[in-house]
Structure 1
Amino acid sequence: MRLGLHALGIGSGARRDVIDAVARAAERCGFARLWAGEHVVMVDRSVSRYPYSADGQIAVPAEADWLDPMIALSFAAAATSTIEIATGVLLLPEHNPVMVAKQAASLDTLSGGRFTLGIGVGWSREEFDALGVPFARRAARTAEYVAAMRTLWRDDVATFDGEFVAFDSVRVNPKPVRDRRIPIVLGGNSDAALRRVADWGDGWYGFNVEDVAAAKRHVACIRARCDEQGRDGTELSLAVALRDPRPSDVEPLAALGVDELVLVVGPPDDAHRAADWIAALADDWRAACP
């Protein structure tokens, strides 16, 4: 079982010195991957319900610093040499897919092929309104954007003609390091999100999953959909961030086929304390995730 860390980009994790210190210490202590999420805007009074908490409210204060995850991860990549990096998640339908394809391939190239693009369809209507993007049909938009980006990464001269995006005979370079592909993992714990994972994703990032029993239900949903589609579900990567993880959860998660347990924690404000904080975190989990 790999151990991931979702700690960068928000609050104290949005500071350059903390990013550098946390990334280096995480690499040194054997963490497999660093994750950073996204919200372009936050609002003081949200009508939209946050889907990853019981009360429907996001825990991050609206006034907190929240870095663009591509930029935050570029600094983490520059401070390290082996640890993987991933958006967890980037809200793809809020962006121009040609630009995201360019940015993702650039980050993958500069990091030496360490980048995974984690994406979601989004949940905040207020955020979509602020960006001038239709909230309706965002799932269909996301699927088409992924198909367009994969075309841009794969083809030297790319053409795509869809409902939401179209381009003709364009070149977008550089190409991703690993066989012109960047792994795309999907967030979301709803049945619809899990079907998207099975239909066209490379993996799943289950964020703030209630417990191991809930993870088991979600993984079963993915596997069942893969069977319907004639797809080998064991080829998908599965990363899970539990709401209240314990070392005893590792064995049953591994039995489900989960590859990575992601710890969602805020780093200390003082960058000089980051190394000890990461070391203590690693010690707590090393026996469970050798």
Structure 2
Amino acid sequence: MRLGLHALGIGTGARREVIDAVAVAAEESGFVTLWSGEHVVMVDRSDSRYPYADDGRIAVPAAADWLDPMVGLSFAAAATRTIGIATGVLLLPEHNPLLVAKQAATLDRLSGGRLTLGIGVGWSREEFAALGVPFERRGRRTAEYVAAMRAVWREDVASFDGEFVGFDAVRVNPKPARDRRIPVVLGGNSDAALRRVADWGDGWYGFNLHGVDEAAERIGVLRGLCREAGRDPSGLRLAVALREPDPGDLAGLARLGVDELVLVESPPEDPDAAPGWVAAIARRWR
């Protein structure tokens, strides 16, 4: 079972010196991926339900620093050589897909092919409204954006004619480092999110799950949806983050076919304390 670390980009994890220290220590301690999420806009009062908490409220204060994950992860990549970097998740329908395609390919190229593009459809109506993007049909918009991005990654001269995006005979360079592809992993724990994974995703990032039992139930649904879609689920990357993880969960997750357990932690304010903090987490889990 591989271990990932979701600790960068928010609060203390948004400071340059902390990013450098945590990234280097995580690589040295054997973590395989550094994850960083996104919200472009936060509001003090929201009527939208946060889907990853029982009370429907996100724990991150609206006033907290929250880095753009592409920019923040570029610093983590520059400080390291081998550890993977992943957006967990980038809210794709809030962005222009050609810009994201270029940014992702740039980061993938500069990091030596270490990027996983984790994406989600979003949950905050207030955020979509502030950005001028329709909240409705955001799932369909996301699917179309990914298809368009894969086209410009794959083809030297690309054209696309869709409902939400269209372009004719354009060049978007650079290309990704690995066979003109970047793995696209989808967040979201709902049946609709799992159906997107089964239909066109490269993997699933299950976030804030209630232990191994919920992970097992959701993975079972995903595999059933893959069979309906005519896909072999064994080719999907499965990464999960649990609400109250315990080292005893590792064996059960491995039996489920989970590739990576992502530990969600907040780093210390003092960058000098970061290496010991990361090492202590690694010792507990190894």
Q: Do both proteins adopt the same fold according to a TM-score greater than 0.5, normalized to the shorter chain?
A: yes
Residue in 2 that maps onto 1:184: 184
Q: Structure 2: how far apart are the matches of 1:36 and 1:269?
A: 17
Q: Secondary structure in 2 aligned to 1:218?
A: helix
Residue in 2 that maps onto 1:67: 67
Runs of 4+ more than 6 Å apart: none
Q: Structure 2: how far apart are the matches of 1:32 and 1:59?
A: 26
Letter in structure 2 aligned against 1:80: T
Q: Secondary structure in 1 aligned to 2:239?
A: strand
RMSD: 0.4
Q: Which runs of 5+ in 1 are unaligned?
A: none
Residue in 2 that maps onto 1:89: 89
Letter in structure 1 aligned against 2:102: K
Letter in structure 2 aligned against 1:42: M
Q: Secondary structure in 1 aligned to 2:248?
A: helix
Give how far 1:211 is off.
Answer: 1.2
Q: Structure 2: how far apart are the matches of 1:211 and 1:283?
A: 21
Residue in 2 that maps onto 1:154: 154
Q: Structure 1: how far apart are the matches of 2:230 and 2:59?
A: 39
| TM-score of the pair, normalised by structure 2 | 1.00
Aligned runs of 1:59-208 on 2, under 5 Å? Answer: 59-208=59-208
Give how far 1:84 is off.
Answer: 0.2
Letter in structure 1 aligned against 2:276: D
Residue in 2 that maps onto 1:29: 29
Letter in structure 2 aligned against 1:38: E
Residue in 1 that maps onto 2:41: 41
Give how far 1:126 is off.
Answer: 0.1
Q: Structure 1: how far apart are the matches of 2:212 and 2:3?
A: 16
Q: Structure 2: how far apart are the matches of 1:146 and 1:222?
A: 20
Q: Structure 2: how far apart are the matches of 1:210 and 1:190?
A: 13
Q: Structure 2: how far apart are the matches of 1:22 and 1:2?
A: 18
Q: Structure 2: how far apart are the matches of 1:90 and 1:193?
A: 14
Q: Structure 2: how far apart are the matches of 1:230 and 1:97?
A: 27
Give how far 1:230 is off.
Answer: 1.2
Structure 1, residues 223-265: CA drift from partner, whole Å, max 9, x if none?
0011111110000000000000000000001100000000000
Q: Structure 2: how far apart are the matches of 1:197 and 1:254?
A: 20
Give how far 1:210 is off.
Answer: 1.1
Give how far 1:87 is off.
Answer: 0.1
Residue in 2 that maps onto 1:274: 274
Q: Structure 1: how far apart are the matches of 2:210 and 2:123?
A: 18
Letter in structure 2 aligned against 1:184: V
Letter in structure 1 aligned against 2:197: V
1:212 aligned to 2:212?
A: yes
1:233 aligned to 2:233?
A: yes
Letter in structure 2 aligned against 1:2: R
Give how far 1:9 is off.
Answer: 0.1
Residue in 2 that maps onto 1:54: 54
Structure 1, residues 157-177: CA drift from partner, whole Å, max 9, x if none?
000000000010000011001
Structure 1, residues 120-140: CA drift from partner, whole Å, max 9, x if none?
000000000000000000000
1:5 aligned to 2:5?
A: yes
| TM-score of the pair, normalised by structure 1 | 0.98
Q: Structure 2: how far apart are the matches of 1:220 and 1:167?
A: 38
Q: Structure 1: how far apart are the matches of 2:99 and 2:23?
A: 26
Give how far 1:179 is off.
Answer: 0.5
Q: Structure 2: how far apart are the matches of 1:10 and 1:23?
A: 14
Q: Structure 1: how far apart are the matches of 2:3 and 2:213?
A: 20
Q: Secondary structure in 2 aligned to 1:240?
A: strand
Q: Structure 2: how far apart are the matches of 1:74 and 1:199?
A: 30
Letter in structure 1 aligned against 2:172: V
Letter in structure 2 aligned against 1:72: G
> What is the aligned length?
286
Q: Which runs of 5+ in 2 are unaligned?
A: none
Structure 1, residues 201-225: CA drift from partner, whole Å, max 9, x if none?
0000001011111000110011001
Q: Secondary structure in 1 aligned to 2:12?
A: helix
